[in-house]
Amino acid sequence: MNDRLQQTLRLFDQYNGADPNLFTWEGQTCPQELFLAEKLHDWVLKLAPDASEPLLLASKSQHIGRWEIARHSYPEGRIGYLSWRKALMRHHARIAEDIIKGAGYPDSVADRVTAILMKQGIKQDADVQVMENALCLVFLQYQYEAFHPAHGDKIVEILRKSLLKMDSAGHERALSLSYTPAGLEHLKQALAALERGR
């Protein structure tokens, strides 16, 4: 890993370290987006040991500054939710671009990172697919078990939509993680629903 890449990743960590929301895992508490970005980076390296430099940059900036645009600043309901998500994607891309260019990278690298962050070419672009797999795996490993009890009958459909974005390699990794019996059953139901829909 070259010096410029290491420096830029540290700048991303510094930015995410300002997240006022805290995440606790195995007795350790830290800023939420700092924790999740580190785990996303780890998963990208597991899935793609020879990951490109833009993909590594994207792995630490996928949700950079997420706390700066609150969900409640957009209307309730699906339309408001989708508008919020689009605004977040643009927000992440702007912050990442500023930091990347400030570190001396050419526009071509900044543009490539933006394409990954904006999920351009999912199911066709290998880097974007690795990122999507990694994002879903981070959710399943670190957030899913706390999330699914509150969503009742909707959880299988929520999972199905997430799994739809993954490829078969991602599905295999998802099944390799540890879950509670209920969590595993929901996941298997979602995968079965996905297969029926093909």
Give the confidence band of 196 by pLDDT, cuts at 50, 70, 90: confident
**Residue finishing a domain among 89, 118, 147:** 118
Residue 158 pLDDT greater than 70, yes or no:
yes
φ, ψ at 156 (rounded to 5°)? -65, -40
CA atoms within 13 A on the CB side of 44: 27
Please give the residue range of the domain that contains residue 18: 1-118
- CA 26/CA 132 separation, integer angstroms: 25
CA–CA separation, 26 and 5 (whole Å): 29
118, 143, 165 - which closes a domain: 118
User: How many domains does the structure of the chain reveal?
Assistant: 2
Quick one: tokens of 149?
A: 């009890």
Query: Does 81 reside within a domain?
Result: yes
* pTM listed for this prediction: 0.94
Is pLDDT at 112 greater than 70 in this prediction?
yes
61 and 32 within one domain: yes
